[in-house]
Amino acid sequence: MCGITGWISYDRNLTTERATLDAMTETMSCRGPDAAGIWLDTHAAFGHRRLAVIDIDGGKQPMSVEHDGRTLIVTTYSGEVYNYRELRAELETLGHAFRTSSDTEVVLHAYLEWGEAFAERLNGMYAFALWDPRTEELLLIRDRMGIKPLYYFPTSDGVLFGSEPKAINAHPDVRPAIDTEGLAELITFTKTPGHGVFKGMHEVRPGHIVRVSRNGVSVRSYWALEAREHTDDLDTTVARIRELLDDIVARQLIADVPLCTLLSGGLDSSVITALSARALTAQGIGPVRSFAVDFTGYTENFKADDLRGTPDGPYAHALAEHVGSDHHDIVLDTAALMDPGHRAAVLAARDLPNGFGDGDTSLYLLFKAVREQSTVALSGESADEVFGGYRWFHDPEAVHADTFPWIAAGVSGRFAGGNATREALLDNGLLDKLDLKGYEQRRYREALAEVPYLDSDTGLQRRMREISYLHLTRFVQVLLDRKDRASMAVGLEVRVPFCDHRLVEYVFNTPWSMKTFDGREKSLLRAAARDVLPDLVADRVKSPYPSTQDPRYNEALRAELKDLAADRNAPVQPLLDDAAAAEATADGATSDIRPGAELILGLDAWLRTTGTSLDL
């Protein structure tokens, strides 16, 4: 993995701008704790922070290819290309010679051989910049599913870019600011592809290439979901999915550093852990190491609700015992979740206060503990989006609502551990100006306009293709972004096998009736992997990432909100509804304030620490 940043300026000599590049690169130190590198040329400057995973000694960056004393191409690269060995072998037959065993060098030679079209040959998670001194052009390229982040900020004579907004905001010419649209994007549960939230900033869209030249900035897509006829019968479909999963997991187990899996006891993470255990055993290098998050007293005092019906612990332990993994529970308490230092670290990692409250803090602490023993972790993220696992996929009211189905299901509050909305404590005048419902509707219409169809898509099949598309291009981005920031904040590389584009394409085009052939969620995944799972786990109903149920957490939030509401100099005061805050913090108040309080507290801390201005 790694953190990248850079600056292209056609009107300045960047060889004298080392101090600025150092400052931008240093913001990425958490993403790459193992090494740092800077490359400067007249109009291009690249910075790199490295997390060494493959070819520890030879993969240093920025990396270039030279010929006869002339630089042909240079890159600052973040990610993993899982088919780099096949690409390298093909390139060698075409006359290319390699000096390292890294996938980064393969990417450079692939560009030299095939030009921009090389991106279509890559299988992996990546975000990188390529500078071609021969044409003085920059390419910014992001993987198909948007697993790895990449932002850019056009300037009057070029562009700034970075893995995270903080790298761009570290440039002295950038004034971090958010306008009404940016704030609406931050608050709503939309994650618009390409939207950078900060004024003037953009995110490279998944599956896209951004080209920067003296003529300006242009954007093109090199991959998108397409509607294709599915001709396989059920048995063939299940067998094909298993074949893909076996290949994907085997590829993603390649690393020159300690590796593990994230195991919640749900179907998704259990499949990844079980298949990893099999693959490692076949290589004679098992057992697989697995990690789960838990909270003090969570299992013993668990209370089911309409989102989470069972605690994770017993299921994670059952799977670990079944496959013989070296399993570890990371047990957290309320004090750790409310610790100001931990919450500040999460905010610094995310750049924006738009997360999942204690769910972000617990994920950060889980990854921090995992990093002490492993450098790479495989995750079950995105299986729900691919296979149709969320409950609202199967709720007719949410499915047929004229908005994003997760918004119709009220999920933003419930994922954060409550039923209230994020905007519950915001000033009414501000809410009128933001028009969150109108913003959601515009983004929803834009998304629907992109959906590809077959002529045979009618009725429920047509609507479920839309629902799948919305999840694979919008909802999953929220979760991938969250996982990337929390993991890279502690220098942990998290891989997501279910985001392999071959699997995504295949299942996207599988009819909805086949995806639910047994009357349940994720029917195809369950059928494809049942033989490696205990029945207890295979038959478990979907339960999202856990959120603490300790009442002391809510009490601590209420007390902190009360102090904030009383501070008339708090930077978040202009955004706060005083009456709503007073009602929420009154003696004896029992209303659910969790999502709203976490947003308000996060906004205040963000405004205090980042210097971001609100241009509302």
Q: Indicate which residues carry an active-site annotation.
A: 2
Structural tokens at position 563? 């102090």
Structural tokens at position 457? 């898509």
Structural tokens at position 433? 């100006």
Which residue from 194, 132, 226 is spatially nearest to 505, judged by alpha carbons? 226
CB 484 within 8 A of CB 30: no
Q: Which residues is 46 bridged to in the sheet?
A: 6, 39
According to DSSP, residue 284 is labeled T
Structural tokens at position 37? 């590198």
Q: Which residues is 230 bridged to in the sheet?
A: none
According to DSSP, residue 609 is labeled H
Cα(72)–Cα(4) distance, integer angstroms: 20
Name the 3-class secondary structure at 283: helix
* Residues 6 or more apart in contact with residue 341 via CB below 8 angstroms: none
Cα(143)–Cα(124) distance, integer angstroms: 7
Which residue from 149, 270, 128, 229 is spatially nearest to 505, judged by alpha carbons? 229
Give one DSSP letter per residue of 464-494, joined into a string.
HHHHHHHIIIIIHHHHHHHHHHHHHTTT-EE
Burial group, residue 123, by CB count within 10 angstroms (0-12, 13-18, 19+): buried
Sign of CA dihedral 379, 382, 384, 386: negative
Cα(422)–Cα(24) distance, integer angstroms: 32
Give the C-alpha distances (Å, rounded to integers) separating 491 from 60, 70, 136, 274, 494.
Answer: 16, 34, 33, 25, 10
CB 135 within 8 A of CB 81: no
Cα(179)–Cα(200) distance, integer angstroms: 10
Count CB atoms within 10 A of the CB of residue 66: 10
Quote the strand ranges of 32-108, DSSP E.
35-40, 44-50, 63-67, 70-81
Cα(470)–Cα(476) distance, integer angstroms: 9
Count CB atoms within 10 A of the CB of residue 255: 15
The rounded Cα 228 to chain-centroid distance in angstroms is 27
Residue 584 one-letter amino acid: A
Which residue from 587, 588, 568 is spatially nearest to 578, judged by alpha carbons? 568
Cα(198)–Cα(352) distance, integer angstroms: 10
Which residue from 410, 381, 407, 405 is spatially nearest to 392, judged by alpha carbons? 405
Q: List the alpha helices (DSSP H) in 16-154.
A: 18-26, 84-93, 103-114
Give the CB-side neighbour count of residue 34, counting CA atoms within 13 A. 20
CB 202 within 8 A of CB 194: yes
Cα(365)–Cα(342) distance, integer angstroms: 8
